[in-house]
A and B are shown apart, each in its own frame.
Chain A
Amino acid sequence: MADLITTSALTKRFHGLTAVQAVDFHVREGETTGVIGPNGSGKTTLFHLLSGFFPPTAGEIRFCGEPITALPPHRRVALGIARTFQLVSVFSSLTVWENAVLAVLRIQPEGAAPARFFLRSCRHPAVLERCAEALERVGLTAQASLPVAELSYGDKRMLEIGITLALRPRLLLLDEPLAGLSDHEIARVVKLIGEIRRQFTVVIIEHKISKILELVERLSVMNEGRLICEGSPAEVLSDPRVRECYWGKEAPAC
């Protein structure tokens, strides 16, 4: 499998703090990769760099072999890089359907007028189909007309993943998708990730390592801004450097 995204010597410094240091990270197309590491190890900063929310201090990012280091976030989404956030990011003041509409907004359905000013212009069959498909996939069709503020946290997480999938990304970055969820909600999200990993290249940051072990083909471990270890889950979890970084600071929450 070819590399979908690669970083070389990727570094991010915030004044005196080096959050990500000379990271060479790569994700192969079609693969599901887990990124683990103690709190503050630089995992989310790495996602911010990959998705364009932070400019790197040094280093380069390539997507499908092309440099994307200087591209803003919306241009990276257009290329096929989509992400979710640690704290669920949906728009509470809009309805579930309107959230889905925003996700397909930049997509120009065939036959639709180029300038779509009014919301009712989103009643184009292609847009409706795409929104309906996104909501159905995450089991929120019945709640389409509800304001997002009325959804449970678990449903908001499902919606966030749903609208991210509506972007039809080539690379999906999930930042702690299980954080703050109940056991029942975790089971729903794990099942969903299990389904989507067959269609998309997925990278998951997660502290609940045991929940993602069956989902990922490869694990990457970060500690103090560095990528310290990569490989299959079995190799990585038996690596003494990984044990040391967790036991030296905190036990992994399995």
Chain B
Amino acid sequence: MIQTVVYGLTIGAILYFFSVGLALTFGTMHIINFAHGMVYTLGVYLFITFLQALGESFLLALVASLLAMLPVAWVIERFVIRRLYGESLDYAIIATYGVLLIGTDAIKMIWGTTPHPVNDPIGIALPLAGMDLPLYRVGIVLSAFALYGALRAFFKRSLVGKVVVAALEDAEGVRCLGIDVNRHFSIIFVLGSALAVLGGVLYAPISTADPYMGFHILLLAFAVVIVGGMGNLNGTFLAALALGMVMAVTGRFWSQAANAMVFVVMALVILLRPREAH
């Protein structure tokens, strides 16, 4: 049972890393960003390439892949996302889905379609209740909690954070104060993309890297964003961990239904959530 809980929390932690960017993009810019899946996948493939080039140093390769993905995220924001501000959701879906498809095909062309395994960088197991618990997974869960704390501090203590919190509520109101909201949206977009890459890299040793890994997590992350409350940052954290647990517990008893149960929970939340009066 402990293994199931740790597995659930690990999946939840990775979902959280990925979903933060989606939630912020939707909450502030009202854009459903499918390109997030491409950023996640490309980041992992760059990480694998850097890992081989930098003598298997996990940390150095992680930093290098993050740095390499920052300009990629900026280009996507500047030339795709920014043109979609204020446009209807279907334009955003088509444009960002296009980026996802193009990126995925480019990854297939460059790295091929064979899945790439990544070694556990810690490789230590903790003996617990008669089982071996990989320390790496515990580290992932702890890093998700650390990220949650860091983001809370960022939104509470930084001016950029305050502007984004205000923009989540009323972006037009922020513009009325003479603040260039788009510049802040760019910062948030790049931050969210970096967190997706971080999540992808942390997840790679648990699974394998394949060109469609972004598609899979994208659907689960949309469920997280919807259950968490569309741009609600605390809700996103709780929803990610809860849905990670749903996957793990369902997978233990009925492995084929592990992913489907996430969407059953999402549907129930949509049905049962109190509606705002209009």
> Which positions in A face B, CB cutoff 8 Å?
51, 53, 72-74, 77-78, 82-85, 89-94, 98-99, 101-103, 105-106, 116-122, 163-164, 167
Contact = CB atoms under 8 A, between A and B. Distances in A.
Nearest to B166: A91
Interface string B168-183: 1110111111111100
B158 A117 contact: yes
Contacts of A73: 172, 175-176
A74 B181 contact: yes
B162 A103 contact: no
In the A-B complex, the 4 residue pairs with the smallest Cβ-Cβ separation, listed nearest first, are A77-B178, A89-B173, A73-B175, A91-B166
Interface string B130-171: 000000000000000000000000001111111101101110
A167 B129 CA distance: 62
Interface string B19-62: 00000000000000000000000000000000000000000000
B159 A53 contact: no
A93 B165 contact: yes
Contacts of B168: 93
A82 B156 CA distance: 27
B106 to A, nearest CB: 34
B162 A119 contact: yes
24 contacts: A74-B179, A74-B180, A82-B176, A84-B176, A89-B176, A90-B173, A91-B165, A91-B166, A92-B169, A93-B166, A94-B165, A99-B166, A101-B159, A102-B166, A102-B177, A103-B177, A105-B163, A105-B179, A106-B177, A106-B178, A106-B179, A117-B159, A117-B160, A163-B177
Nearest to A52: B175
Interface residues of B, number: 23
B172 A91 contact: no
B175 A102 contact: no
Interface of B: 156-163, 165-166, 168-170, 172-181
A167 B172 CA distance: 16
B165 to A, nearest CB: 6
The residue in B158, B159, B169, B174 that gathers the most chain A C-beta atoms within 10 A of its C-beta is: B159
A102 B163 contact: yes
Contacts of B166: 91, 93-94, 99, 102
B178 A85 contact: no
Given A85-B172, A91-B165, A99-B166, 19 more contacts: A53-B172, A53-B175, A74-B175, A74-B181, A77-B175, A77-B176, A84-B176, A93-B168, A93-B169, A94-B165, A98-B162, A101-B162, A102-B174, A106-B177, A118-B158, A118-B159, A119-B159, A119-B162, A167-B177
Contacts of A91: 165-166, 169-170, 173
Nearest to A89: B173
B172 A105 contact: no
